[in-house]
């Protein structure tokens, strides 16, 4: 089932009744079944949402994203008790060996570079060297093929001299927003699979509560990059307008492809994080990442 994403950029009051969200604005009142919601983005600072609403949303694994005064996502509400054997899964995750984590990181980076190559090929840009970099990724990516691939990828992705910088000029702000939404989606899927987002397989930072989400989102970044290019081709604005944010949120419903099936990204992330959980428990050896293009 495709979950809905609700984006609030104006004043609203949000309550709950009979497993529904009751949303009141200045000119109307609507209800939405909570079970149909995957994400809520709260951007306006005069949105009033009740504690029972937040509890209901959390119980249904809805990722509630809060924005700061600059209208950028800054924090997130996630369920901390979302799996029936969560304590047992935590134990496996905490006790994961370094060789296992290095193997999982190798798989993740190989998939990321493969997707970057496919994206460049889709745009008729030089991509062949990325296939070489992918073939040279070692356990733990100790030779940092990720960085070598990124240098080539960003050099050729756009039709002008572009520097990827978190605080850089257009379209970096579009990329940042899209990555934040992707990160939230991965964190939601990890919580649903009973995993701790804090404990990464590669990223380690005592100030980062979402290290594992930062790991697992890597192969999916090119979907955001593609959406940003589409926006650049269809919008003249270079600032994050409400319409552009709505376009970036559509990344969550993009179709991706597994070996014998296809699904939306939001659903696929749950399959990927479930496979990661099984890697920790020893049931399988590889994370199941989908192809981003058929």
> 76-130 pLDDT, tens per residue?
887 766 655 677 888 999 999 999 999 999 999 999 999 999 999 999 999 999 9
Query: Is residue 160 classed as helix, strand or coil in its secondary structure?
Result: coil
> 186-238 pLDDT, tens per residue?
998 998 898 988 899 998 876 677 899 999 999 999 999 999 999 999 999 99
Rounded distance between C-alpha atoms, residue 276 and residue 113, angstroms? 19
Rounded distance between C-alpha atoms, residue 188 and residue 200, angstroms? 15
Instruction: Find all residues with CB under 8 Å of 241, minimum gap 6, and list them.
Output: 235
> 270-290 pLDDT, tens per residue?
999 999 999 999 999 999 999
Identify the CATH class of 86-281.
Answer: mainly alpha
Domain with CATH 1.20.120.920 in the chain: 86-281
In terms of phi and psi (left: phi > 0; alpha: psi -120 to 50; beta: otherwise), the region of 83 is beta
Residue 172 has pLDDT above 60, yes or no: yes
Q: Give the domain 4-77 fold.
A: Ribosomal Protein L15; Chain: K; domain 2 (3.100.10)
pLDDT (0 to 100) of residue 207: 60
Residue 2 has pLDDT above 90, yes or no: no
pLDDT (0 to 100) of residue 213: 94
pLDDT (0 to 100) of residue 161: 87
Phi, psi of 179 (to 5 degrees): -65, -35
Identify the burial level of 205 via C-beta atoms within 10 angstroms of its C-beta, where 0-12 means exposed, 13-18 middle and 19 or more buried: exposed
Domain with CATH 3.100.10.20 in the chain: 4-77
């Amino acid at each position: 089932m495709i979950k809905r994403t609700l984006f609030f950029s104006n004043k609203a009051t949000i309550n709950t009744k009979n497993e529904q969200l009751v949303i009141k604005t200045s000119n109307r009142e609507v209800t939405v079944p909570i079970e149909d919601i995957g994400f809520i983005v709260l951007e306006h600072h005069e949105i009033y949402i009740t504690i029972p609403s937040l509890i209901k949303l959390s119980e249904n694994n809805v990722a509630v994203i809060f924005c700061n005064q600059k209208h950028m996502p800054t924090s997130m509400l996630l369920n901390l008790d979302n799996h029936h054997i969560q304590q047992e899964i935590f134990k496996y995750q905490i006790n994961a060996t370094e060789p296992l984590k290095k193997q999982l990181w190798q798989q993740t980076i190989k998939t990321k570079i493969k997707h970057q190559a496919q994206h460049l090929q889709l745009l008729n840009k030089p991509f062949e060297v990325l296939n070489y970099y992918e073939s040279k990724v070692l356990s733990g990516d100790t030779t940092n093929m990720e960085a070598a691939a990124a240098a080539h990828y960003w050099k050729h992705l756009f039709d002008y001299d572009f520097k990827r910088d978190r605080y850089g000029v257009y379209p970096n702000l579009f990329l940042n927003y899209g990555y934040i939404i992707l990160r939230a989606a991965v964190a939601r899927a990890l919580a649903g699979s009973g995993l701790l987002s804090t404990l990464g397989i590669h990223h380690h930072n005592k100030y980062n509560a979402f290290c594992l989400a930062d790991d697992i989102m890597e192969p999916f970044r090119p979907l955001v990059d593609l959406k940003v290019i589409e926006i650049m081709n269809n919008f003249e604005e270079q600032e994050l307008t409400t319409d552009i944010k709505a376009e970036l949120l559509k990344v969550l419903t993009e179709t991706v492809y597994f070996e014998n099936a296809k699904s939306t990204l939001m659903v696929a992330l749950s399959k990927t994080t479930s496979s990661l959980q099984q890697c920790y428990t020893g049931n399988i050896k590889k994370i199941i990442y989908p192809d981003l293009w058929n």
